Amino acid sequence: MRFKSLARGLAAGVIAVGLALSSTAVAAVSAEPVNNLLSSSEEAQVRADFTKYGVPAVTQNKLINKFNRGELFDSLLGKAPISTEKSEDANRIVTVARFADGSVTVTKADKPGDGTKFGTIRECVRTGGSGYSNFTNCTIEQSWFVVAIAFVASYSIINGAPDRISFVGNQTQNCKGATCSNLRFTQNKRVEDSGGPATVQLQVSATTPVNSWEAWLLLEVGGDQGIVRNS
């Protein structure tokens, strides 16, 4: 199975997204916001994530004030990133997308554990044989720092036959400074066909007193590869 990089997504057999927290301190907000949409603890978490991925304190201040005024980050508006950075180690692939206003999204893709290896403790396992690969219990998650959604999927890549998604479920949401509701699958096509790949899309409605938006995470399985896209 091959990997394919996308400006707003990451191709991988197994996709998992998460944001680690950093204890590095940053400067306080430099201007009084109109609304305090983020609580003090939520702001600390968002700042820790920004710091983890190299967002300067001055830019953090601007972004926090922007969000607290009810203005959305460029990363939440469907805009294209101005740069992407990809790194890889023995266990995962990490793609960081940076936007014109300084906001960031982070996608982490776990490499699958080998299902033929005795004693594997990896949750997402790859098994297969001649011409096919099964990916089982793979967590797919996307974070925009103030909104995160995730689900678990199992799917198969089959050479010379339609690829397919055999399971989706265990969907979750996590919002900071906003209320998330109506978490639902808006696409659920399980088998690749002549019209396109198998697709599953998880979507959530996010609202604040001054704004609202939709965030979605899409898994495509077709053409002998898995691709993740996001809003």
Which residue ranges form the domains of the chain, and what is each CATH number?
5-19+84-230 (2.60.40)
Compute the distance between CA of residue 197 and CA of residue 195 in angstroms, rounded to an integer.
Answer: 7
Over range 1-9, report the average pLDDT.
Answer: 38
How far, rounded to the nearest angstrom, does the alpha carbon of residue 50 sit from its chain's CA centroid? Answer: 15
Q: Which of 184, 153, 121, 114 is nearest to 16 (CA)?
A: 153
The pLDDT confidence band at residue 89, using thresholds 50, 70 and 90, is: low
pTM of the model: 0.77
Q: Which of 124, 126, 151, 163 is nearest to 228 (CA)?
A: 151
- Contact partners, residue 130, CB within 8 Å, separation at least 6: none
Range picked from 14-18, 24-28, 104-108, 199-203 for highest mean pLDDT? 199-203
Q: Which of 11, 53, 12 is nearest to 143 (CA)?
A: 53
Q: Which of 98, 21, 3, 17 is nearest to 55 (CA)?
A: 98
